[in-house]
Amino acid sequence: MRFGKMGATLCAALVAATLMLYARPSAGAAQNGADTAQGPPLKIQVNLVNLFATVRDKKTKQIFSNLEQSDFKVSEDGKEQKITSFSKESTLPVTLGLLLDTSGSEQYTLGAEQDAAMQFLTRVMRKGDLTMVMSFDSDSDLLADFTDDLSRLQRAIRRAQINTPGGQGPLAGNVAGTVFYDAVYLACHDKLAEEAGRKALVIVTDAYDEGSKLRIQDAIEAAQRTDTVVHILLIGDPAHFYVDESDARKISDETGGRTIVVRSEKNLQQAFDQISEELRSQYTLGYYSTNSARDGGYRKVKVETTRKDLDVLTRRGYYAPTE
């Protein structure tokens, strides 16, 4: 499935969402008795906020998986929130998107990336998990839709090819590019939006965008709206190509993921192993927001522990519902 030539669709989707937001009736519009009767359960449903968090020691970076609900504090826009649900997640199914950068900057590392990615899926996937595989360069390709079939996923990973002028791949000879932002948006908005439970993207890239029709903020917002954590393994050839660590960290930090700088092919598997460990060592915290407004606005979230020696990794905010 080719995601290409969807620039107009992407922009139209954003414009439509904006128009729908402004076209909605005001909260003070008159409602009949039936609507009023249905109000409370709807309010409870849309105001529930779920957060997936990973906790590490600030110095050793060791993951802590033995904390209790009383060890956490959650605030939204500076106001403390009451945690109403808590669990330690090690077996909860996860829906993954594996994205491989196949632009020219990855031509010397793609083989090692494919090997490490296949080993990663073999180790991390458990019963109930689903994974899709995408590649992106001057366009985005869906190489395998969501499946639990490891053989199918491995074949999809092997089909990824470098797409650069004079190189291999279906667009060989065409203008080079790396639609990094578009790929993140498409993976979240078009594929992960309808999936439930834990969701994550694992992206192998140098994070340099060239040619996307959307902005980095659009990619971040798509991930936040779909509750998707984005992990980035930053790898490339800094001697010949630009490696954008700043953009990578911005996306991962805002969504509760990690950016791991891979200095060499030898460290690639270690980076995948770190992501695998985090996916299987998370806490789930839920709360009902004290802000009941359904205005579609962005709300900042902060999760802390009562222990000063620990760091909490989780998304930095979410968008309130509009209906």
Nearest to 233 by CA among 211, 217, 218, 249: 249
Q: Tell me, what's the pLDDT at 243?
A: 85
Query: Under CATH, to which class is 92-279 assigned?
Result: alpha beta
In this structure, are residues 317 and 299 in contact, taking their beta carbons and an 8 Å threshold?
Answer: yes
Listed by start position, the domains of the chain span: 45-90+281-323, 92-279
> CA triplet 285, 288, 289: central angle to 5 degrees?
110
The strand pair at 140-147 and 310-313 is best described as unpaired
How do residues 143-186 score in pLDDT, each as one tens digit? Answer: 999 999 999 999 999 999 998 554 444 434 445 589 999 999 99
User: Nearest 10 degrees: CA dihedral of 258, 133, 3, 187?
Assistant: -40
Per residue in 247-302, pLDDT tens?
999 999 999 999 999 977 778 989 999 999 999 899 999 999 999 999 999 999 99
CATH dotted code for 45-90+281-323: 2.60.40
More confident site: 261 or 28: 261
Q: What is the mean pLDDT of the chain?
A: 84
| Letter string b/e over residues 92-111, b meaning 16 or more CB atoms within 10 A of that residue's CB | bebbbbbbbbbbbbbbebbe
166 φ/ψ angles, rounded to the nearest 5 degrees: 85, -5
Which H/E stretch holds residue 148? none
The span from the CA of 282 to the CA of 89, in Å, is 5
